């Protein structure tokens, strides 16, 4: 257990509304990630962070933004939600030490109607 929580765990929202998902970790890991999981695609990286205020885009970043103002929190925002963003979102951290192991939160199921 890497002390990762996500909130909310479930959310239903309407097309065009902004949505923010939160990832919180308790172990001060430097690297944090946001993925989305869709059938047939495995996990796809949206954004990642390598420190406070240091973020970069992943494979599927269009329509998403992130912020990291504190080490423990990594926020994912959908500026204007669309039905194609209906998915399960996972946050992950990577432990230091050169082993490149990722540890995942429990996920947020987002439905955009």
Partner 1 sequence: GDSVTQMEGPVTLSEEAFLTINCTYTATGYPSLFWYVQYPGEGLQLLLKATKADDKGSNKGFEATYRKETTSFHLEKGSVQVSDSAVYFCALTPNNYGQNFVFGPGTRLSVLP
Q: Which of 22, 43, 73, 86 binds partner 1 (CB under 8 A)?
A: 43
Question: Rounded to 5 degrees, what are φ and ψ at 110?
Answer: -110, 130
The separation between the first and the last C-alpha atoms of the chain, rounded to the nearest angstrom, is: 33
The size of the interface with partner 1 (CB under 8 A), counted in residues, is: 25
3-state SS assignment for residue 111: strand
Residues in 13-32 that interact with partner 1 by CB under 8 A? 30-31
- Least distance between partner 1 and beta carbon 110 (Å): 15
Instruction: Measure Cα distances from 35 to 38, 58, 78, 97 in Å.
Output: 10, 9, 13, 22
Q: Which of 46, 74, 75, 107 binds partner 1 (CB under 8 A)?
A: 107
Binding site for partner 1 (CB under 8 A): 4, 30-31, 33, 40-45, 48, 50, 56, 90, 92, 94, 99-107
């Amino acid at each position: 257990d890497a002390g990762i929580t996500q909130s909310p765990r479930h959310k239903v929202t309407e097309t065009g509304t902004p949505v923010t998902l939160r990832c919180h970790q308790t172990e001060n890991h430097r690297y944090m990630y946001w993925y989305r999981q869709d059938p047939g695609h495995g996990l796809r990286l949206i954004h990642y962070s390598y420190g406070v205020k240091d973020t970069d885009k992943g494979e599927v970043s269009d329509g998403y933004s992130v912020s990291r103002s504190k080490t423990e929190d990594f926020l994912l925002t959908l500026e204007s939600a669309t039905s194609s963003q209906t998915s399960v979102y996972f946050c992950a951290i990577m432990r230091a030490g050169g082993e490149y192991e990722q540890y995942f939160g429990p996920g947020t199921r987002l439905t955009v109607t």
